[in-house]
Structure 1
Protein backbone atom coordinates (compact mmCIF):
# COMPACT_ATOMS: atom_id res chain seq x y z
CA UNK A 1 0.00 0.00 0.00
CA UNK A 2 2.88 2.34 0.81
CA UNK A 3 4.40 1.61 -2.61
CA UNK A 4 1.18 2.73 -4.30
CA UNK A 5 1.04 5.83 -2.11
CA UNK A 6 4.60 6.82 -3.06
CA UNK A 7 4.34 6.12 -6.77
CA UNK A 8 0.97 7.91 -7.06
CA UNK A 9 2.53 11.32 -6.44
CA UNK A 10 5.34 10.76 -8.92
CA UNK A 11 2.97 9.52 -11.60
CA UNK A 12 0.81 12.57 -10.93
CA UNK A 13 3.85 14.70 -11.81
CA UNK A 14 4.40 12.57 -14.91
CA UNK A 15 0.83 12.95 -16.16
CA UNK A 16 0.53 16.67 -15.42
CA UNK A 17 3.90 17.41 -17.03
CA UNK A 18 2.99 15.37 -20.11
CA UNK A 19 -0.31 17.22 -20.52
CA UNK A 20 1.39 20.62 -20.21
CA UNK A 21 4.08 19.60 -22.68
CA UNK A 22 1.47 18.41 -25.20
CA UNK A 23 -0.30 21.77 -24.82
CA UNK A 24 2.96 23.64 -25.51
CA UNK A 25 3.79 21.53 -28.56
CA UNK A 26 0.27 21.91 -30.00
CA UNK A 27 0.38 25.67 -29.51
CA UNK A 28 3.92 26.25 -30.84
CA UNK A 29 4.33 23.56 -33.50
CA UNK A 30 8.03 24.23 -34.09
CA UNK A 31 11.31 22.47 -33.42
CA UNK A 32 12.64 25.37 -31.38
CA UNK A 33 10.26 24.50 -28.57
CA UNK A 34 11.50 20.91 -28.55
CA UNK A 35 15.11 22.10 -28.68
CA UNK A 36 14.55 24.34 -25.67
CA UNK A 37 12.96 21.50 -23.71
CA UNK A 38 15.90 19.18 -24.48
CA UNK A 39 18.36 21.94 -23.64
CA UNK A 40 16.80 22.38 -20.20
CA UNK A 41 16.81 18.61 -19.66
CA UNK A 42 20.50 18.48 -20.56
CA UNK A 43 21.31 21.40 -18.26
CA UNK A 44 19.30 19.86 -15.43
CA UNK A 45 21.12 16.53 -15.84
CA UNK A 46 24.49 18.23 -15.38
CA UNK A 47 23.34 20.03 -12.21
CA UNK A 48 21.80 16.82 -10.86
CA UNK A 49 25.00 14.89 -11.59
CA UNK A 50 26.92 17.24 -9.33
CA UNK A 51 24.52 17.75 -6.42
CA UNK A 52 22.63 14.43 -6.43
CA UNK A 53 24.96 11.75 -7.81
CA UNK A 54 28.24 13.00 -6.39
CA UNK A 55 27.30 15.22 -3.44
CA UNK A 56 24.32 13.22 -2.14
CA UNK A 57 21.98 16.17 -1.71
CA UNK A 58 18.71 14.23 -1.33
CA UNK A 59 16.89 10.96 -2.01
CA UNK A 60 13.66 10.27 -3.86
CA UNK A 61 11.42 7.35 -2.83
CA UNK A 62 8.95 6.59 -5.63
CA UNK A 63 9.10 2.85 -4.79
CA UNK A 64 8.83 1.91 -8.46
CA UNK A 65 12.15 0.11 -8.92
CA UNK A 66 12.37 -2.63 -6.30
CA UNK A 67 15.78 -4.20 -6.93
CA UNK A 68 17.96 -1.18 -6.11
CA UNK A 69 17.15 1.74 -3.80
CA UNK A 70 19.48 4.19 -5.54
CA UNK A 71 18.11 3.30 -8.96
CA UNK A 72 14.66 4.01 -7.54
CA UNK A 73 15.91 7.38 -6.29
CA UNK A 74 17.47 8.07 -9.70
CA UNK A 75 14.10 7.41 -11.34
CA UNK A 76 12.53 9.92 -8.97
CA UNK A 77 15.15 12.44 -10.05
CA UNK A 78 14.25 11.64 -13.66
CA UNK A 79 10.60 12.60 -13.03
CA UNK A 80 11.82 15.98 -11.82
CA UNK A 81 14.72 16.79 -14.15
CA UNK A 82 13.48 15.26 -17.38
CA UNK A 83 9.80 16.11 -17.01
CA UNK A 84 8.29 18.60 -14.57
CA UNK A 85 11.05 21.23 -14.33
CA UNK A 86 12.07 21.46 -18.03
CA UNK A 87 8.43 21.42 -19.14
CA UNK A 88 7.59 24.43 -16.97
CA UNK A 89 10.84 26.14 -18.02
CA UNK A 90 9.77 25.64 -21.65
CA UNK A 91 6.31 27.02 -20.88
CA UNK A 92 7.80 30.13 -19.26
CA UNK A 93 10.26 30.85 -22.07
CA UNK A 94 8.15 30.03 -25.13
CA UNK A 95 5.11 31.97 -23.86
CA UNK A 96 7.33 34.85 -22.74
CA UNK A 97 6.05 34.78 -19.16
CA UNK A 98 7.51 37.49 -16.94
CA UNK A 99 9.42 37.31 -13.65
CA UNK A 100 6.23 37.19 -11.59
CA UNK A 101 5.46 33.85 -13.23
CA UNK A 102 9.01 32.68 -12.59
CA UNK A 103 8.63 33.52 -8.90
CA UNK A 104 5.22 31.82 -8.85
CA UNK A 105 6.43 28.57 -10.41
CA UNK A 106 9.56 28.56 -8.23
CA UNK A 107 7.33 28.82 -5.17
CA UNK A 108 5.02 26.17 -6.61
CA UNK A 109 7.83 23.62 -6.87
CA UNK A 110 9.17 24.53 -3.44
CA UNK A 111 5.65 23.77 -2.20
CA UNK A 112 5.67 20.39 -3.96
CA UNK A 113 9.05 19.62 -2.46
CA UNK A 114 7.78 20.54 1.01
CA UNK A 115 4.75 18.27 0.47
CA UNK A 116 6.97 15.37 -0.65
CA UNK A 117 9.08 15.84 2.48
CA UNK A 118 5.98 15.69 4.67
CA UNK A 119 4.77 12.58 2.81
CA UNK A 120 8.18 10.95 3.39
CA UNK A 121 8.62 10.20 -0.30
CA UNK A 122 11.60 12.55 -0.53
CA UNK A 123 14.45 13.15 1.94
CA UNK A 124 16.95 15.96 2.35
CA UNK A 125 20.53 15.33 3.43
CA UNK A 126 22.34 18.66 3.29
CA UNK A 127 19.88 20.21 0.81
CA UNK A 128 17.35 22.88 1.88
CA UNK A 129 14.11 24.27 0.44
CA UNK A 130 15.80 27.66 0.07
CA UNK A 131 18.35 26.15 -2.30
CA UNK A 132 15.52 24.81 -4.46
CA UNK A 133 13.81 28.19 -4.61
CA UNK A 134 16.97 30.08 -5.51
CA UNK A 135 18.06 27.42 -7.99
CA UNK A 136 14.72 27.46 -9.79
CA UNK A 137 14.73 31.25 -10.12
CA UNK A 138 18.04 30.93 -11.97
CA UNK A 139 16.93 27.82 -13.91
CA UNK A 140 13.73 29.39 -15.23
CA UNK A 141 15.52 32.67 -15.97
CA UNK A 142 18.19 30.78 -17.88
CA UNK A 143 15.48 29.12 -19.98
CA UNK A 144 14.48 32.55 -21.32
CA UNK A 145 18.11 33.24 -22.26
CA UNK A 146 18.51 29.87 -23.97
CA UNK A 147 15.31 30.45 -25.91
CA UNK A 148 16.63 33.74 -27.27
CA UNK A 149 19.79 31.93 -28.39
CA UNK A 150 17.70 29.29 -30.15
CA UNK A 151 15.48 31.89 -31.84
CA UNK A 152 18.52 33.72 -33.18
CA UNK A 153 20.93 31.00 -34.27
CA UNK A 154 24.64 31.78 -34.28
CA UNK A 155 27.88 29.90 -34.73
CA UNK A 156 30.43 29.50 -32.01
CA UNK A 157 29.96 29.03 -28.27
CA UNK A 158 26.19 29.55 -28.05
CA UNK A 159 25.42 27.12 -30.84
CA UNK A 160 27.86 24.49 -29.59
CA UNK A 161 26.58 24.73 -26.01
CA UNK A 162 23.00 24.24 -27.20
CA UNK A 163 24.05 21.26 -29.31
CA UNK A 164 25.95 19.69 -26.42
CA UNK A 165 23.12 20.09 -23.91
CA UNK A 166 20.56 18.68 -26.35
CA UNK A 167 22.86 15.77 -27.19
CA UNK A 168 23.49 15.14 -23.50
CA UNK A 169 19.79 15.02 -22.68
CA UNK A 170 19.19 12.27 -25.24
CA UNK A 171 22.45 10.42 -24.59
CA UNK A 172 21.96 10.33 -20.81
CA UNK A 173 18.36 9.13 -20.97
CA UNK A 174 19.12 6.42 -23.51
CA UNK A 175 22.20 5.32 -21.55
CA UNK A 176 20.82 5.19 -18.02
CA UNK A 177 17.12 4.24 -18.32
CA UNK A 178 17.85 0.71 -19.65
CA UNK A 179 20.19 0.19 -16.69
CA UNK A 180 17.42 1.14 -14.26
CA UNK A 181 14.71 -1.07 -15.74
CA UNK A 182 16.53 -3.94 -17.47
CA UNK A 183 19.73 -4.28 -15.43
CA UNK A 184 21.71 -4.74 -18.65
CA UNK A 185 24.95 -3.42 -17.12
CA UNK A 186 26.47 -1.71 -14.14
CA UNK A 187 29.70 0.16 -13.48
CA UNK A 188 31.99 -0.29 -10.48
CA UNK A 189 34.70 2.39 -10.44
CA UNK A 190 34.83 2.16 -6.64
CA UNK A 191 33.88 5.77 -5.92
CA UNK A 192 31.00 4.89 -3.58
CA UNK A 193 30.12 1.88 -1.44
CA UNK A 194 26.60 1.65 -2.85
CA UNK A 195 26.72 -0.20 -6.17
CA UNK A 196 23.77 1.75 -7.59
CA UNK A 197 25.24 5.13 -6.78
CA UNK A 198 28.67 4.05 -8.04
CA UNK A 199 27.14 2.87 -11.30
CA UNK A 200 25.01 5.96 -11.94
CA UNK A 201 27.89 8.32 -11.07
CA UNK A 202 30.16 6.65 -13.63
CA UNK A 203 27.30 6.57 -16.17
CA UNK A 204 27.04 10.34 -15.84
CA UNK A 205 30.72 10.82 -16.59
CA UNK A 206 30.42 8.36 -19.48
CA UNK A 207 27.51 10.15 -21.12
CA UNK A 208 29.07 13.60 -20.64
CA UNK A 209 32.26 12.48 -22.38
CA UNK A 210 30.40 10.51 -25.06
CA UNK A 211 28.15 13.50 -25.85
CA UNK A 212 31.19 15.69 -26.35
CA UNK A 213 32.68 13.12 -28.73
CA UNK A 214 29.44 12.90 -30.74
CA UNK A 215 29.36 16.69 -31.14
CA UNK A 216 33.02 16.84 -32.16
CA UNK A 217 32.64 14.05 -34.72
CA UNK A 218 29.64 15.78 -36.29
CA UNK A 219 31.55 19.06 -36.50
CA UNK A 220 34.45 17.52 -38.43
CA UNK A 221 34.02 17.88 -42.18
CA UNK A 222 34.49 14.32 -43.36
CA UNK A 223 35.18 13.73 -47.06
CA UNK A 224 33.71 10.26 -46.82
CA UNK A 225 30.68 10.55 -44.55
CA UNK A 226 30.50 6.85 -43.68
CA UNK A 227 33.88 6.90 -41.94
CA UNK A 228 32.46 8.79 -38.95
CA UNK A 229 30.04 5.93 -38.28
CA UNK A 230 32.71 3.24 -38.50
CA UNK A 231 35.08 5.16 -36.25
CA UNK A 232 32.36 5.98 -33.72
CA UNK A 233 31.08 2.42 -33.50
CA UNK A 234 34.60 1.02 -33.24
CA UNK A 235 35.56 3.58 -30.60
CA UNK A 236 32.54 2.84 -28.37
CA UNK A 237 33.14 -0.91 -28.72
CA UNK A 238 36.80 -0.55 -27.73
CA UNK A 239 35.94 1.69 -24.77
CA UNK A 240 33.48 -0.93 -23.54
CA UNK A 241 36.05 -3.71 -23.90
CA UNK A 242 38.65 -1.69 -21.98
CA UNK A 243 36.16 -0.93 -19.20
CA UNK A 244 35.32 -4.64 -18.96
CA UNK A 245 38.99 -5.58 -18.92
CA UNK A 246 39.84 -3.25 -16.01
CA UNK A 247 36.79 -4.37 -14.04
CA UNK A 248 34.67 -1.19 -14.22
CA UNK A 249 31.98 -2.33 -16.67
CA UNK A 250 29.95 -5.44 -15.94
CA UNK A 251 27.82 -6.37 -18.95
CA UNK A 252 24.95 -8.66 -17.92
CA UNK A 253 22.87 -9.39 -21.04
CA UNK A 254 23.73 -10.46 -24.57
CA UNK A 255 22.43 -7.30 -26.24
CA UNK A 256 24.11 -4.81 -23.92
CA UNK A 257 27.25 -3.88 -25.85
CA UNK A 258 25.46 -4.05 -29.18
CA UNK A 259 22.84 -1.60 -27.88
CA UNK A 260 25.39 1.05 -26.90
CA UNK A 261 27.27 0.75 -30.20
CA UNK A 262 24.06 1.22 -32.20
CA UNK A 263 23.00 4.00 -29.82
CA UNK A 264 26.22 5.85 -30.63
CA UNK A 265 25.61 5.45 -34.38
CA UNK A 266 22.04 6.67 -34.02
CA UNK A 267 23.17 9.68 -32.00
CA UNK A 268 25.74 10.66 -34.61
CA UNK A 269 22.99 10.70 -37.22
CA UNK A 270 20.57 12.56 -34.93
CA UNK A 271 23.12 15.14 -33.73
CA UNK A 272 23.98 15.92 -37.35
CA UNK A 273 20.31 16.71 -38.06
CA UNK A 274 19.95 18.78 -34.87
CA UNK A 275 23.14 20.70 -35.68
CA UNK A 276 21.70 21.76 -39.05
CA UNK A 277 18.27 22.63 -37.65
CA UNK A 278 19.79 24.71 -34.84
CA UNK A 279 21.59 26.78 -37.45
CA UNK A 280 18.40 27.72 -39.30
CA UNK A 281 16.03 30.34 -37.88
CA UNK A 282 12.37 29.31 -37.98
CA UNK A 283 9.47 31.70 -37.97
CA UNK A 284 7.81 31.61 -34.56
CA UNK A 285 4.07 32.07 -34.20
CA UNK A 286 2.53 34.58 -31.89
CA UNK A 287 2.80 33.27 -28.28
CA UNK A 288 -0.96 33.31 -27.92
Structure 2
Protein backbone atom coordinates (compact mmCIF):
# COMPACT_ATOMS: atom_id res chain seq x y z
CA UNK A 1 0.00 0.00 0.00
CA UNK A 2 1.33 3.43 -0.97
CA UNK A 3 2.06 5.65 2.02
CA UNK A 4 -0.21 8.40 0.64
CA UNK A 5 -3.24 6.16 1.09
CA UNK A 6 -2.68 5.47 4.78
CA UNK A 7 -3.68 8.91 6.20
CA UNK A 8 -6.84 8.98 4.06
CA UNK A 9 -7.69 5.39 5.01
CA UNK A 10 -7.32 6.13 8.74
CA UNK A 11 -9.58 9.18 8.47
CA UNK A 12 -12.15 7.18 6.51
CA UNK A 13 -12.25 4.41 9.14
CA UNK A 14 -12.64 6.86 12.03
CA UNK A 15 -15.40 8.84 10.36
CA UNK A 16 -17.25 5.77 9.14
CA UNK A 17 -17.29 4.73 12.80
CA UNK A 18 -18.70 8.13 13.80
CA UNK A 19 -21.31 7.83 11.06
CA UNK A 20 -22.43 4.36 12.19
CA UNK A 21 -22.70 5.54 15.80
CA UNK A 22 -24.78 8.55 14.71
CA UNK A 23 -27.10 6.44 12.55
CA UNK A 24 -27.67 3.89 15.35
CA UNK A 25 -28.12 6.38 18.17
CA UNK A 26 -30.10 9.05 16.32
CA UNK A 27 -32.05 7.16 13.69
CA UNK A 28 -35.27 8.84 14.86
CA UNK A 29 -33.80 12.17 13.74
CA UNK A 30 -33.50 11.03 10.10
CA UNK A 31 -29.73 11.62 9.97
CA UNK A 32 -29.52 10.80 6.25
CA UNK A 33 -31.59 13.88 5.44
CA UNK A 34 -29.11 16.12 7.21
CA UNK A 35 -26.16 14.12 5.93
CA UNK A 36 -27.06 14.71 2.28
CA UNK A 37 -27.72 18.37 3.01
CA UNK A 38 -24.30 18.63 4.65
CA UNK A 39 -22.63 16.98 1.65
CA UNK A 40 -24.53 19.27 -0.72
CA UNK A 41 -23.32 22.40 1.09
CA UNK A 42 -19.74 21.04 1.12
CA UNK A 43 -19.96 20.21 -2.61
CA UNK A 44 -21.06 23.77 -3.42
CA UNK A 45 -17.93 24.99 -1.62
CA UNK A 46 -15.75 22.40 -3.34
CA UNK A 47 -17.17 23.22 -6.77
CA UNK A 48 -16.04 26.82 -6.45
CA UNK A 49 -12.75 26.39 -4.55
CA UNK A 50 -11.43 23.14 -6.06
CA UNK A 51 -13.19 22.60 -9.39
CA UNK A 52 -13.18 26.15 -10.73
CA UNK A 53 -10.36 27.99 -8.95
CA UNK A 54 -8.22 24.98 -7.96
CA UNK A 55 -7.34 26.29 -4.51
CA UNK A 56 -5.66 23.05 -3.42
CA UNK A 57 -4.93 19.47 -4.47
CA UNK A 58 -5.26 16.09 -2.83
CA UNK A 59 -2.71 13.29 -3.37
CA UNK A 60 -4.22 10.02 -2.04
CA UNK A 61 -2.55 8.10 -4.89
CA UNK A 62 -5.61 5.93 -5.46
CA UNK A 63 -6.15 6.79 -9.14
CA UNK A 64 -3.53 7.20 -11.85
CA UNK A 65 -4.93 10.40 -13.34
CA UNK A 66 -3.89 13.32 -11.12
CA UNK A 67 -7.13 15.24 -11.59
CA UNK A 68 -9.29 12.22 -10.78
CA UNK A 69 -7.07 11.37 -7.82
CA UNK A 70 -7.49 14.88 -6.43
CA UNK A 71 -11.27 14.72 -6.83
CA UNK A 72 -11.29 11.35 -5.05
CA UNK A 73 -9.51 13.01 -2.11
CA UNK A 74 -12.05 15.82 -2.20
CA UNK A 75 -14.92 13.32 -2.02
CA UNK A 76 -13.33 11.65 1.01
CA UNK A 77 -13.10 15.07 2.65
CA UNK A 78 -16.40 16.68 1.61
CA UNK A 79 -18.67 13.61 1.42
CA UNK A 80 -17.42 11.83 4.53
CA UNK A 81 -15.08 13.61 6.94
CA UNK A 82 -16.58 17.10 7.12
CA UNK A 83 -20.34 16.29 6.93
CA UNK A 84 -20.07 13.30 9.29
CA UNK A 85 -18.38 15.44 11.92
CA UNK A 86 -21.05 18.12 11.39
CA UNK A 87 -24.01 15.78 11.93
CA UNK A 88 -22.19 14.13 14.87
CA UNK A 89 -21.79 17.56 16.52
CA UNK A 90 -25.38 18.49 15.70
CA UNK A 91 -27.24 15.35 16.79
CA UNK A 92 -25.27 14.93 20.01
CA UNK A 93 -25.85 18.64 20.75
CA UNK A 94 -22.18 19.44 21.19
CA UNK A 95 -21.57 23.11 21.83
CA UNK A 96 -19.21 25.69 20.42
CA UNK A 97 -16.30 24.24 22.39
CA UNK A 98 -16.58 21.05 20.35
CA UNK A 99 -17.03 22.99 17.10
CA UNK A 100 -13.79 24.84 17.82
CA UNK A 101 -12.09 21.57 18.81
CA UNK A 102 -13.02 19.90 15.50
CA UNK A 103 -11.98 23.03 13.61
CA UNK A 104 -8.55 23.04 15.25
CA UNK A 105 -8.26 19.27 14.75
CA UNK A 106 -8.95 19.44 11.01
CA UNK A 107 -6.73 22.48 10.58
CA UNK A 108 -3.95 20.54 12.29
CA UNK A 109 -4.63 17.53 10.04
CA UNK A 110 -4.44 19.84 7.03
CA UNK A 111 -1.01 21.03 8.11
CA UNK A 112 0.08 17.43 8.77
CA UNK A 113 -1.11 16.37 5.29
CA UNK A 114 0.86 19.23 3.76
CA UNK A 115 3.93 18.07 5.68
CA UNK A 116 3.36 14.47 4.50
CA UNK A 117 2.89 15.76 0.93
CA UNK A 118 -0.50 14.10 0.55
CA UNK A 119 -2.21 17.50 0.25
CA UNK A 120 -1.04 20.81 -1.22
CA UNK A 121 -2.40 24.31 -0.83
CA UNK A 122 -2.21 26.60 -3.83
CA UNK A 123 -3.86 29.92 -3.04
CA UNK A 124 -5.93 28.36 -0.22
CA UNK A 125 -4.54 28.85 3.31
CA UNK A 126 -5.16 26.99 6.57
CA UNK A 127 -6.46 30.22 8.11
CA UNK A 128 -9.37 29.99 5.64
CA UNK A 129 -10.12 26.52 7.01
CA UNK A 130 -10.10 27.93 10.55
CA UNK A 131 -12.65 30.56 9.50
CA UNK A 132 -14.92 28.46 7.26
CA UNK A 133 -15.35 25.27 9.34
CA UNK A 134 -17.08 26.87 12.37
CA UNK A 135 -19.48 28.58 9.96
CA UNK A 136 -20.17 25.25 8.25
CA UNK A 137 -20.81 23.47 11.57
CA UNK A 138 -23.15 26.30 12.60
CA UNK A 139 -24.99 26.15 9.25
CA UNK A 140 -25.58 22.38 9.52
CA UNK A 141 -26.86 22.85 13.10
CA UNK A 142 -29.28 25.56 11.95
CA UNK A 143 -30.38 23.35 9.05
CA UNK A 144 -31.21 20.59 11.52
CA UNK A 145 -33.27 23.00 13.63
CA UNK A 146 -35.25 24.12 10.59
CA UNK A 147 -35.86 20.51 9.56
CA UNK A 148 -36.80 19.36 13.05
CA UNK A 149 -38.42 22.31 14.81
CA UNK A 150 -39.35 24.95 12.26
CA UNK A 151 -40.69 23.19 9.17
CA UNK A 152 -40.29 25.47 6.16
CA UNK A 153 -40.93 24.49 2.57
CA UNK A 154 -37.69 25.93 1.20
CA UNK A 155 -35.64 23.82 3.60
CA UNK A 156 -37.50 20.72 2.45
CA UNK A 157 -37.04 21.63 -1.21
CA UNK A 158 -33.30 22.28 -0.79
CA UNK A 159 -32.80 19.08 1.20
CA UNK A 160 -34.48 17.09 -1.57
CA UNK A 161 -32.45 18.97 -4.18
CA UNK A 162 -29.17 18.14 -2.42
CA UNK A 163 -30.20 14.47 -2.31
CA UNK A 164 -30.50 14.39 -6.10
CA UNK A 165 -27.50 16.62 -6.81
CA UNK A 166 -25.04 14.78 -4.56
CA UNK A 167 -26.01 11.43 -6.05
CA UNK A 168 -25.72 12.68 -9.64
CA UNK A 169 -22.22 14.05 -8.92
CA UNK A 170 -21.08 10.87 -7.17
CA UNK A 171 -22.43 8.66 -9.96
CA UNK A 172 -20.66 10.82 -12.55
CA UNK A 173 -17.38 10.39 -10.67
CA UNK A 174 -17.74 6.61 -10.45
CA UNK A 175 -18.60 6.33 -14.15
CA UNK A 176 -15.67 8.49 -15.24
CA UNK A 177 -13.00 7.41 -12.75
CA UNK A 178 -13.66 3.70 -12.38
CA UNK A 179 -15.81 2.60 -15.32
CA UNK A 180 -14.51 5.13 -17.90
CA UNK A 181 -17.92 5.33 -19.48
CA UNK A 182 -19.07 8.95 -19.72
CA UNK A 183 -17.36 12.29 -19.62
CA UNK A 184 -18.74 15.79 -19.92
CA UNK A 185 -16.61 17.94 -22.16
CA UNK A 186 -16.59 20.72 -24.72
CA UNK A 187 -14.42 20.41 -27.81
CA UNK A 188 -11.14 18.50 -27.65
CA UNK A 189 -9.62 20.18 -24.63
CA UNK A 190 -6.51 18.53 -23.23
CA UNK A 191 -7.88 19.36 -19.77
CA UNK A 192 -10.86 17.09 -20.29
CA UNK A 193 -11.16 16.07 -16.63
CA UNK A 194 -11.09 19.69 -15.51
CA UNK A 195 -13.88 20.48 -17.99
CA UNK A 196 -15.83 17.39 -16.91
CA UNK A 197 -15.96 18.52 -13.29
CA UNK A 198 -17.12 21.96 -14.38
CA UNK A 199 -19.95 20.73 -16.61
CA UNK A 200 -21.10 17.70 -14.58
CA UNK A 201 -22.38 19.77 -11.59
CA UNK A 202 -24.33 22.00 -14.01
CA UNK A 203 -25.87 18.93 -15.63
CA UNK A 204 -26.64 17.55 -12.16
CA UNK A 205 -28.17 20.87 -11.14
CA UNK A 206 -30.61 20.82 -14.05
CA UNK A 207 -31.53 17.17 -13.53
CA UNK A 208 -31.95 17.70 -9.78
CA UNK A 209 -34.34 20.61 -10.29
CA UNK A 210 -36.45 18.38 -12.54
CA UNK A 211 -36.19 15.54 -10.02
CA UNK A 212 -37.40 17.73 -7.15
CA UNK A 213 -40.37 19.12 -9.10
CA UNK A 214 -41.63 15.77 -10.40
CA UNK A 215 -41.10 14.13 -6.99
CA UNK A 216 -43.13 16.82 -5.26
CA UNK A 217 -45.83 16.56 -7.94
CA UNK A 218 -45.62 12.75 -7.91
CA UNK A 219 -45.19 12.65 -11.70
CA UNK A 220 -42.33 10.17 -12.03
CA UNK A 221 -43.15 9.00 -15.57
CA UNK A 222 -43.27 12.55 -16.91
CA UNK A 223 -40.12 13.31 -14.95
CA UNK A 224 -38.30 10.36 -16.49
CA UNK A 225 -39.16 11.68 -19.94
CA UNK A 226 -37.91 15.18 -19.08
CA UNK A 227 -34.67 13.82 -17.60
CA UNK A 228 -34.07 11.82 -20.78
CA UNK A 229 -34.73 14.91 -22.92
CA UNK A 230 -31.98 16.76 -21.03
CA UNK A 231 -29.64 13.80 -21.68
CA UNK A 232 -30.43 13.98 -25.39
CA UNK A 233 -29.92 17.76 -25.40
CA UNK A 234 -26.50 17.52 -23.74
CA UNK A 235 -25.53 14.75 -26.16
CA UNK A 236 -26.62 16.70 -29.25
CA UNK A 237 -24.76 19.78 -28.00
CA UNK A 238 -21.71 17.50 -27.78
CA UNK A 239 -21.32 18.15 -24.07
CA UNK A 240 -21.44 14.41 -23.38
CA UNK A 241 -18.86 12.10 -24.90
CA UNK A 242 -19.96 8.48 -25.01
CA UNK A 243 -17.66 5.46 -25.17
CA UNK A 244 -19.50 2.31 -26.22
CA UNK A 245 -22.56 3.60 -24.38
CA UNK A 246 -25.85 5.30 -25.14
CA UNK A 247 -27.76 8.06 -23.40
CA UNK A 248 -30.48 5.46 -22.83
CA UNK A 249 -28.16 3.91 -20.26
CA UNK A 250 -28.87 6.96 -18.09
CA UNK A 251 -32.48 5.80 -17.69
CA UNK A 252 -31.82 3.24 -14.90
CA UNK A 253 -29.87 5.93 -13.01
CA UNK A 254 -32.79 8.35 -13.27
CA UNK A 255 -35.28 5.69 -12.18
CA UNK A 256 -33.26 4.78 -9.10
CA UNK A 257 -32.77 8.43 -8.10
CA UNK A 258 -36.46 9.19 -8.54
CA UNK A 259 -37.25 6.28 -6.21
CA UNK A 260 -34.66 7.53 -3.70
CA UNK A 261 -36.15 11.01 -3.97
CA UNK A 262 -39.61 9.64 -3.14
CA UNK A 263 -38.26 7.89 -0.04
CA UNK A 264 -36.56 11.06 1.19
CA UNK A 265 -39.71 13.06 0.45
CA UNK A 266 -41.73 10.74 2.68
CA UNK A 267 -39.12 11.02 5.44
CA UNK A 268 -39.24 14.81 5.27
CA UNK A 269 -43.03 14.88 5.31
CA UNK A 270 -43.04 12.56 8.34
CA UNK A 271 -40.41 14.62 10.13
CA UNK A 272 -42.21 17.90 9.46
CA UNK A 273 -45.55 16.36 10.48
CA UNK A 274 -44.01 15.33 13.82
CA UNK A 275 -42.60 18.84 14.27
CA UNK A 276 -45.98 20.48 13.63
CA UNK A 277 -47.70 18.12 16.09
CA UNK A 278 -45.04 18.86 18.69
CA UNK A 279 -45.49 22.61 18.21
CA UNK A 280 -49.29 22.30 18.57
CA UNK A 281 -48.88 20.32 21.78
CA UNK A 282 -46.48 22.93 23.14
CA UNK A 283 -48.95 25.72 22.38
CA UNK A 284 -51.74 23.82 24.17
CA UNK A 285 -49.57 23.42 27.27
CA UNK A 286 -48.54 27.06 27.25
CA UNK A 287 -52.07 28.36 26.60
CA UNK A 288 -54.55 25.97 28.24
CA UNK A 289 -58.21 26.68 27.64
Given the two structures, how large is their TM-score scaled by the length of structure 1? Answer: 0.88
For 2:36, which of 25, 35, 38 is the aligned residue? 38
After superposition, what is the alpha-carbon deviation per residue over 1:223-278, rounded to whole angstroms, capped at 9, x for unaligned?
xxxxx333333333333333233322111133x63442221122222212212211
Q: Which has the higher contact order (CA 8 A, sep 6+)?
A: 1
Give unmatched runs, 5+ long, in structure 2. Answer: 276-289
Give unmatched runs, 5+ long, in structure 1. Answer: 223-227, 284-288
For 2:257, which of 261, 267, 274 is the aligned residue? 267
- 1:95 paired with 2:86, answer no
**What is the CA-CA distance between 1:120 and the residue it aligns to?**
1.0
**Within 1, Cα distance between the matches of 2:204 and 2:99?**
30
- 1:204 paired with 2:201, answer yes
Cα 1:253–1:14, aligned 2, differ >3 Å: closer, same or farther? farther
Contact 1:14–1:83 at 8 Å: present in 2 too? yes
**Within 1, Cα distance between the matches of 2:96 and 2:167?**
29
- 1:276 paired with 2:274, answer no
Given the two structures, how large is their TM-score scaled by the length of structure 2? Answer: 0.88
Contact 1:153–1:280 at 8 Å: present in 2 too? no
Cα 1:153–1:166, aligned 2, differ >3 Å: closer, same or farther? farther
Could you say which residue in structure 2 is the equivalent of 1:225?
none
* Partner-residue secondary structure (3-state), 2:120: strand
Could you say which residue in structure 1 is the equivalent of 2:278?
none
Number of residue pairs matched?
273
CA RMSD of aligned residues (A): 2.0
Structure 1 stretch displaced more, 230-239 or 69-78? 230-239
For 1:130, which of 127, 131, 138 is the aligned residue? 127
For 1:243, which of 190, 212, 234 is the aligned residue? 234
Could you say which residue in structure 2 is the equivalent of 1:161?
158
Cα 1:191–1:164, aligned 2, differ >3 Å: closer, same or farther? farther
Contact 1:41–1:81 at 8 Å: present in 2 too? yes
Which protein shows a greater Rg?
A: 2
